[in-house]
C-alpha cells in the first residue's frame, strides 16, 4: 500500500517553464495607466463590454475586443472551476468539493497550478474560478463547485487555488459575490444577510483570495440586501467591501447579471459586463451604445471609464500576459473541435492525469470499514471489508448504473445522469472526453483473478440477483445537481436537488444487495450529503464517499478499494439523517423573486448541529483510514499577537497513511460565536511507527469577531478553548488560552 504524492512535491518545487515573470501591482498600474491614456473611447468600450453571446467571432465563453495597435489581444474568459469546459484535449479534474475533502493545501495548490497550465496552453487568459459559494443548504445546486459550508476551509482552498493558477500567469476570477446559495429564483432573489454574518461567513473566503492577489471578482445574479449584486456599491463600489479589503483587480458581471442603467452599474463599481449583450435573463446594460452615451453625456465621468479599463488591464500586465502569452487556439462554440479556429492543442500531460487521479483518491472519504482479517501478517489478510485482498476474492458483483460509462455527449452542460457521476451539470462542469468508469477500471485491475458479474442499472431485482452469494459486491450509487441554466430539469431536479435521497432508488438498491451479500461495499458519488439510513446494516462492510472525482473516477476508486492508496479524505460537510438537521432550506415556491432571510446567521452545518445538540451520522471532518493515528503532547505558545499550537501525530497502525488533524477554537461565551469553529488543518504523511510534530498558528484574526460599530475584526477577551482532533466531534487534545 502506498500513496501517490511524491510527483506533486517535485512539481511544486521545480521551476516551471510556464511560470510568468510577475510585476508588482504598482508597476502593472503604471503600464496600464499609460496604455489607457493612448486609447480612444471606442477602444476602451471594447474592453469593458464583452463581444456578445451570439457573436460568430467569439472563441471563449467570454471575450473582449482586441486593440491590435497597442498589442492588447481579445481577453479570453473560460469556464470552469473543475477544468476547461467546451474544449477538447483537456483534463477533467475533481470538483471543488473533492479538493476540500483532501484537507491538503498541497493538493489544492497543485490543482490550481495544473489549471493554470492548461488555461495558458489553450491561450485562455482568465480562469473563471474558484467558486467560493458557501454550502448554506446541502441541496444547493452548485455547492459542489465550491468547497463546502465552512468559511475557513473554503478560504484556504480558495487561497491555494488562486496561488496555483496565477503562479503560471493565468488570471483567477473569484465568484460569485455574494451570498449566492441556491439556484431556484437565482436571477432575482435577494439574500438578506446581517453585517457580521456577511464578514465572518460569506465574505471571508473572498478576503483570503484577495490576500492571494486574485485579479478579478465576479458579481452574482442574485440581489444582496435588496440591491442587484452587480451594481451594489456596498459590495463593489469605491468604498465597498472589495476596495476596503485591498482588492486590486476588476469586477466582471456574471453572464447576464446586469440590470438597470449603464451609469448605475459603472459608477457603483462594475468594470466589465459579460457577455456584453442581452441573454434572456438580463445583460446588455453597457451595449447598444448605452455606456458610450453615458460617458459622452457625463453621467459616467471620463475618470471612471479610464479607471475601469486600467483595472482590467493592470492584471494583464501584472501577471505578464503581455509577454509571450499563447494566442487563443480553440473555439468554445464548436465542441467537436471542428473549424479553423480549433488548433487541437493538447494540454493534457501525464502529470495532470496523475494529479487528477491522486486528488480523486485523496478525497475519497472512508465512512465505514468492518474489516475482518486472517492471521499471518502484521495487518492480517482482509477477507471482508477494506482494503480488498485481490488474491482472496474470486467472485465479484458490480452493481448500479453509476459504475458504467455515462453519455459523453449530453449537450454542453452535461445535463444527464445515466452513468457514473464524475461532476455536476452546468457551467461548472468539465470534459468527460477521457472518463474511465469504475466498471472498466475494476475489470482491468482484476483481470483473470476473479469472475465479475455486473448489473449496470438500478433495477433492484437484477442487482440482488447479480450480488447473491458473491465474495464481494460493489454497489455504486449517486446523487447529482447543477446550475439552473435555462430553467432546465434533470431527472426532475431543477438545479438544486429536490431532497437528500440517492437518485434512481439508490438506497433501496443498497439494501437489496446487502440482504444477499455479506460483504457489500458501497461507493457514493454525490454532490453533497445524502441520507444513509442503511449505513449500519451488518452486511455493509465498507462505505466510501467518493464525491465528484473527475475523469479518473474508475482508477482512483480501484486504488482505494484495493489498498494502492490509503484513504485520507475528510468530510467537508456533515451527513445527517434529514434536512432539518442543517437548519436551512431551499426556497422552491414563491409568487415572485423571494427574499431569503439568513436568520441562522453563523450557524451552518456542524456549527448548527453543535448548537442544537444534533449528532449527525457522520460529522464534518470525519474520515477513516486503513491505519490508525494517535495524538499527544499538545502545547500552546504565545508569539506576539499569535499562538503556536503544537502536537505530535503518530502512525500506530500497519500501513503508511496520511492523517488530517484539525484545529478548532471555542470562543469565550460573550463573543457570541458558535460552540467551535475550524481554525486550522494539516496533512501529515507517515510510515508505520513514525510520528511527526505539527505546528498550527492561530493569528489575531483567527481569534477575532467582526465588530459592526467599528467595522473591523476585534479579538475577544476571555478564555479560548483550543481543540485538536481527527474531526469536529473526535477531539483528541485540549488546552486553553486566556486573553
pLDDT tens, position by position, 597-615: 999 999 999 999 999 999 9
* E strand or H helix at 396: strand 395-399
User: Three-class SS of residue 411?
Assistant: coil
Mean pLDDT of the region 221-234: 96
Q: Is pLDDT of 659 > 50?
A: yes
Mean pLDDT of the region 248-277: 96
Q: Is pLDDT of 489 > 90?
A: no
Q: Please, what is the Cα angle at 509 between 503 and 511, to 5 degrees?
A: 125
**Lowest-confidence pick of 57-66, 214-223, 406-415, 638-647:** 406-415
- Band of pLDDT at residue 10, cut at 50, 70 and 90: very low
pTM for this prediction: 0.95
Q: Over the stretch 395-453, which tens digit does the pLDDT of each residue have?
A: 999 999 999 999 887 888 899 999 999 999 999 999 999 999 999 999 999 999 999 99
Burial class, 233, CB count within 10 angstroms (exposed 0-12 / middle 13-18 / buried 19+):
middle
User: Three-class SS of residue 383?
Assistant: strand
Mean pLDDT of the region 366-393: 80
Mean pLDDT of the region 670-682: 97
Q: Would you list the domain boundaries of the chain?
A: 350-612, 629-738
Q: Please, what is the Cα angle at 573 between 225 and 220, to 5 degrees?
A: 30
pLDDT of residue 341: 86
Mean pLDDT of the region 110-137: 98
Q: Over the stretch 545-590, which tens digit does the pLDDT of each residue have?
A: 999 999 999 999 999 999 999 999 999 999 999 999 999 999 999 8
Q: Is pLDDT of 102 > 80?
A: yes
**Lowest-confidence pick of 143-147, 156-160, 370-374, 731-735:** 370-374
Buried b (16+ CB within 10 A) or exposed e, 480-496: bbbbbbeebebeebbbb
Inter-residue contact 319 to 215 (CB < 8 Å): yes
In degrees and rounded to multiples of 5, residue 703 shows phi and psi of -105, 15
Mean pLDDT of the region 280-299: 93
Q: Is pLDDT of 16 > 80?
A: no
Strand partners, 723: 664, 734
pLDDT of residue 4: 44
Give percent of the chain with pLDDT exceeding 70: 95
Query: What does the mean pLDDT of the chain come to?
Result: 94
CATH of 350-612, one of 3.90.226.10, 3.40.50.2300, 3.40.50.300, 3.40.50.1700: 3.40.50.1700
pLDDT of residue 551: 97
Respond yes or no: is residue 254 known to be catalytic.
yes
pLDDT of residue 410: 82
HSE-CB of 721 using CA atoms within 13 angstroms: 14
Q: Is pLDDT of 8 > 50?
A: no
Count the Cβ atoms, other than its own, within 10 Å of residue 723.
24
Which cell is 88 given?
477538447
Higher pLDDT, 19 or 234: 234
- Band of pLDDT at residue 387, cut at 50, 70 and 90: very high
Count the Cβ atoms, other than its own, within 10 Å of residue 333.
18
| Nearest Cα residue to 8 out of 545, 467, 685 | 685
CATH placement of domain 629-738: 2.60.40.10
Q: Is pLDDT of 14 > 50?
A: no
Inter-residue contact 242 to 251 (CB < 8 Å): yes
Chain centroid offset of residue 303 CA: 37
| Nearest Cα residue to 689 out of 725, 661, 649, 724 | 649
pLDDT of residue 381: 66
Which of the following is catalytic: 63, 79, 133, 254? 254
- Among all chains, which residue has been given the C-alpha cell 483473470? 448
- Band of pLDDT at residue 7, cut at 50, 70 and 90: very low
Which cell is 258 given?
446586469
SS (H, E, C) 256-309: CCCCCCHHHHHHCCCCEECCCCECCCCECCCCCCHHHHHHHCCCCCHHHHHHHH
Amino acid at each position: 500500500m502506498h500513496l501517490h504524492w511524491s510527483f506533486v512535491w517535485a512539481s511544486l518545487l521545480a521551476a516551471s517553464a510556464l511560470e510568468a515573470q510577475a510585476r508588482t501591482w504598482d508597476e502593472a498600474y503604471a503600464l496600464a495607466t499609460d496604455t489607457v491614456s493612448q486609447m480612444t473611447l471606442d477602444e476602451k468600450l471594447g474592453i469593458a463590454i464583452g463581444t456578445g453571446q451570439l457573436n460568430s467571432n467569439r472563441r471563449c465563453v467570454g471575450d473582449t475586443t482586441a486593440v491590435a495597435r497597442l498589442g492588447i489581444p481579445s481577453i479570453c474568459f473560460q469556464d470552469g472551476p473543475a477544468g476547461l469546459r467546451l474544449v477538447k484535449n483537456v483534463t477533467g479534474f475533481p470538483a471543488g468539493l473533492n479538493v476540500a475533502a483532501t484537507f491538503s493545501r498541497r493538493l489544492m495548490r497543485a490543482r490550481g497550478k495544473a489549471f493554470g497550465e492548461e488555461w495558458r496552453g489553450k491561450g485562455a487568459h482568465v480562469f473563471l474560478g474558484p467558486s467560493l459559494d458557501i454550502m448554506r443548504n446541502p441541496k444547493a445546486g452548485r455547492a459542489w463547485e465550491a468547497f463546502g459550508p465552512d468559511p475557513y476551509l473554503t478560504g484556504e482552498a480558495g487561497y491555494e487555488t488562486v496561488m496555483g493558477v496565477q503562479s503560471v500567469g493565468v488570471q483567477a476570477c473569484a465568484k460569485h459575490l455574494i451570498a449566492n446559495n441556491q439556484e431556484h429564483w437565482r436571477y432575482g432573489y435577494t439574500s438578506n444577510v446581517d453585517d457580521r454574518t456577511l464578514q465572518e461567513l460569506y465574505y471571508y473566503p473572498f478576503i483570503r483570495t484577495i490576500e492571494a492577489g486574485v485579479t478579478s471578482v465576479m458579481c452574482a445574479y442574485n440581489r444582496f440586501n435588496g440591491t442587484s449584486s452587480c451594481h451594489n456599491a456596498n459590495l463593489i463600489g469605491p468604498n465597498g467591501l472589495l476596495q476596503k479589503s485591498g482588492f486590486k483587480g476588476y469586477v466582471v458581471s456574471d453572464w447576464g447579471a446586469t440590470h438597470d442603467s449603464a451609469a448605475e452599474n459603472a459608477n457603483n463599481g462594475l468594470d466589465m459586463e459579460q457577455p456584453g449583450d442581452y441573454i434572456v435573463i438580463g445583460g446588455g446594460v453597457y451595449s447598444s451604445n448605452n455606456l458610450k452615451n453615458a460617458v459622452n453625456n457625463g453621467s459616467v465621468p471620463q475618470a471612471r471609464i479610464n479607471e475601469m479599463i486600467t483595472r482590467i488591464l493592470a492584471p494583464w500586465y501584472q501577471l505578464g500576459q503581455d509577454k509571450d502569452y499563447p494566442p487563443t487556439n480553440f473555439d468554445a462554440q464548436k465542441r467537436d473541435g471542428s473549424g479553423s479556429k480549433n488548433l487541437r492543442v493538447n494540454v493534457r500531460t501525464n502529470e495532470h492525469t496523475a494529479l487528477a487521479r491522486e486528488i480523486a483518491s485523496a478525497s475519497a472519504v472512508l465512512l465505514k470499514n468492518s474489516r475482518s482479517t486472517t492471521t499471518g501478517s502484521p495487518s492480517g489478510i482482509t477477507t471482508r471489508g477494506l482494503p480488498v485482498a485481490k488474491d482472496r476474492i474470486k467472485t465479484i458483483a458490480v452493481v448500479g448504473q453509476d459504475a458504467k460509462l455515462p453519455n459523453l455527449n449530453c449537450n454542453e452542460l452535461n445535463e444527464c445522469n445515466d452513468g457514473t457521476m464524475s461532476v455536476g451539470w452546468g457551467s461548472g462542469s468539465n470534459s468527460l472526453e477521457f472518463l474511465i468508469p469504475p466498471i472498466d477500471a475494476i475489470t482491468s485491475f482484476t483481470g483473470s483473478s476473479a469472475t465479475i458479474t455486473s448489473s449496470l442499472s438500478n433495477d433492484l431485482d437484477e442487482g440482488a440477483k447479480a450480488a447473491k452469494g458473491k465474495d464481494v459486491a460493489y454497489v455504486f450509487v449517486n446523487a447529482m445537481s447543477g446550475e439552473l441554466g435555462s430553467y432546465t430539469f434533470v431527472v426532475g431536479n431543477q438545479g438544486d436537488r429536490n431532497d437528500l435521497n440517492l437518485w434512481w432508488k439508490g438506497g433501496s438498491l443498497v439494501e437489496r444487495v446487502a440482504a444477499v451479500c455479506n460483504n457489500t461495499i458501497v461507493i457514493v458519488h454525490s454532490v453533497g450529503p445524502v441520507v444513509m439510513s442503511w449505513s449500519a446494516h451488518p452486511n455493509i462492510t465498507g462505505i466510501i464517499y467518493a464525491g465528484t472525482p473527475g475523469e479518473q473516477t474508475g482508477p482512483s476508486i480501484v486504488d482505494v478499494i484495493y489498498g494502492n492508496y490509503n484513504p485520507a479524505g475528510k468530510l467537508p460537510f456533515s451527513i445527517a439523517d434529514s434536512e432539518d438537521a442543517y437548519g436551512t432550506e431551499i426556497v422552491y415556491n414563491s409568487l415572485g423573486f423571494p427574499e431569503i432571510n439568513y436568520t441562522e446567521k453563523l450557524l451552518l452545518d456542524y456549527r448548527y448541529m453543535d448548537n442544537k445538540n444534533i449528532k449527525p451520522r457522520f460529522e464534518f471532518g470525519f474520515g477513516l483510514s486503513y491505519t490508525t493515528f494517535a495524538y499527544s503532547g499538545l502545547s500552546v505558545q504565545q508569539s506576539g499577537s499569535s499562538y503556536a499550537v503544537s502536537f505530535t501525530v503518530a502512525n500506530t497502525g500497519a500501513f503508511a497513511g496520511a492523517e488530517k488533524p484539525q484545529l478548532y477554537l471555542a470562543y469565550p461565551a460573550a463573543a457570541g460565536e458558535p460552540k467551535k469553529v475550524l481554525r486550522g488543518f494539516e496533512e501529515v504523511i507517515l510510515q508505520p511507527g513514525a510520528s511527526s510534530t505539527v505546528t498550527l498558528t492561530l493569528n489575531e484574526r483567527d481569534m477575532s469577531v467582526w465588530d459592526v460599530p467599528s467595522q473591523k475584526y476585534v479579538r475577544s477577551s476571555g478564555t479560548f478553548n483550543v481543540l485538536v482532533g481527527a474531526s469536529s466531534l473526535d477531539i483528541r487534545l485540549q488546552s486553553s488560552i486566556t486573553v
